[in-house]
Amino acid sequence: MLRIAITGGIGSGKTVITNYLEYLGYTIIDADVISREMTGPEGCAVERIIEVFGPDVASIEKGLSREYIRQLIFSNNEMKRKFEDIVTKSVIDTINRILKVYELSGKNVVFVAAPLLFEYDMEDEFDAVWLVVSDEDKRITRVAERDGLDNEMITRIIDSQLSDEEKCVLATDIIENNSAVDDLKIAVNILLDKYKLKT
């Protein structure tokens, strides 16, 4: 089974790509979706988050207060590390379990969307890494429109991740996303042909 990671900074366009691949019939594992389930109402990580950060950050019934935790972890590296120790490592374990199931079921290829792939040194676990890059001003605009965050918070999040320049050195393939969605789909199609992938 071919394992291909799709990564890139916040607002780079990973979700557009994974939605397109899913539309084409490919199997996707999305780290962000798993994380949201774990930290949502009655999520498996919520109790531990409350133990470490207190009841202001989350509740079993409502899940994680995302605005509160963003303010906390993107202004304090120690808090960020503690949060990632709880959530990110559990997400990685879950992804690995799902990959084993798909491998046993005889899947031809599985795509894994993992925003912090390089930050957690996961790249060697994949046969290829597709990196999505985009100009920072475009990323800020996308995230502001999508999530309603202010520019200062978005910039903090971007600064907490490896730069595109650092990631480009580590990636197998680079997808630029600075124009229309159709151009992005064409770039994906070229890579699908390169790897001779079929659903």
Residue 199 is predicted with a pLDDT of 63
How far, in Å, CA of 101 to CA of 104, rounded? Answer: 5
Could you tell me the pTM of the whole model?
0.93
Question: pLDDT tens for residues 58-107?
Answer: 999 999 999 999 999 998 999 999 999 999 989 999 999 999 999 999 99
Read off the pLDDT of residues 159-168 as tens digits, 9 standing for 90 and up: 999 999 999 9
- Percent pLDDT > 90 in the chain is 95
SS3 of the chain: helix, strand, coil, percent, to 5: 55, 15, 30
Contact between residue 45 and residue 87 where contact means Cβ atoms under 8 Å apart: yes
Cα–Cα distance, 168 to 186 (Å, whole number): 20
Residue 29 has pLDDT above 90, yes or no: yes
Distance CA 165, CA 168 (A): 5
Calculate the average pLDDT of the chain: 95
CA dist 79 and 72 (Å) reads 7
Residues above pLDDT 70, as percent of the chain = 99
Q: What are the structural domains, with CATH classification, of the chain?
A: 2-37+84-194 (3.40.50.300)
Q: Are 116 and 161 in contact (CB under 8 A)?
A: yes
Q: What is the pLDDT of residues 8-20, one digit of tens each?
A: 999 999 999 999 9
User: pLDDT tier at 198 (50, 70, 90 boundaries)?
Assistant: confident
